[in-house]
Structure 1
Amino acid sequence: MSVHDELTSVQRCLDDLARSVGRLEQQLGASLEMRRVRADADHLRESLALLREAAPVLTQPRRPDLLSIPDTPYDNSLWTDSDDEGLGARDRHAP
């Protein structure tokens, strides 16, 4: 699943939790414990909202810095001390 799908799933679960807490509150009344449960559920919803805002930043792959390569030919003097790879030296032949 993608991050967006996971966040949507968590949002649905928190919505279900809020409905369940509301039903419990109707049955049990607004006691101190019930207010704490309501506050905790609200904090979860707020935290998820903050995570949703940060998620695009967290999930975007970081693009590497681009490096421009000029179209001009390389200086041939750069290659004077190297052999042709795989072919051996110029003044010798393969065994």
Structure 2
Amino acid sequence: MSVSDELTTVQRCLDDLVRSVGRLEQQMGSGGLDIRRVRADADHLRESVSLLRAATVTTTSSRRPDLVTIPDTPYDTSLWTDSDDEGLGARDRHAP
């Protein structure tokens, strides 16, 4: 199964859970600490899955950039004629 299919399955199960918690609230009353905790946990799970779905959509929609091939041929040394060797100072000067 793909990630999208799995997330859809999880969302469907969470919807069933929320409906079941609603029926429990009607039978037990919504004032008890335990049922409020279960309701809050179910809502938190629903929000977490929604965030996960949004992150998955963002990740799959952004393609990896195309790879750039770097040739094995040596670089043109004339590119570095005006630069100093890093950390060694200029070529015509001596280190102290």
User: Shorter-chain TM-score: what band?
Assistant: 0.5 to 0.7
Q: Cα offset for 1:63?
A: 4.6
Q: Deviations over 1:5-57 (max 9, x none)?
A: 00000000000000000000000011111000000000000000000011131
- Indicate whether 1:65 and 2:67 are aligned: yes
Q: Are 1:45 and 2:46 matched, yes or no? A: yes
Give the greater-gyration-radius structure (CA).
1
RMSD: 2.5
Secondary structure of the structure 1 residue equivalent to 2:5: helix
| Number of residue equivalences | 70
Offset at 1:58? 6.0
User: What percent of counterpart residues are identical?
Assistant: 63
Written as runs of structure 1 = structure 2, the 5 A alignment for 1:1-95 is 1-30=1-30, 31-56=32-57, 57=59, 62-67=64-69
**How many Å apart are 1:61 and its aligned residue?**
6.6
* Structure 1: gaps spanning 5 or more residues: 75-95
**TM-score, with normalisation over the residues of structure 1?**
0.64
- Write the distance in 1 (CA, Å) between the matches of 2:60 and 2:28: 41
C-alpha distance in 2 between matches for 1:18 and 1:68 = 55
Q: Which runs of 4+ in 1 moved over 4 A?
A: 58-61
- Distance in 2 separating the partners of 1:60 and 1:13: 28
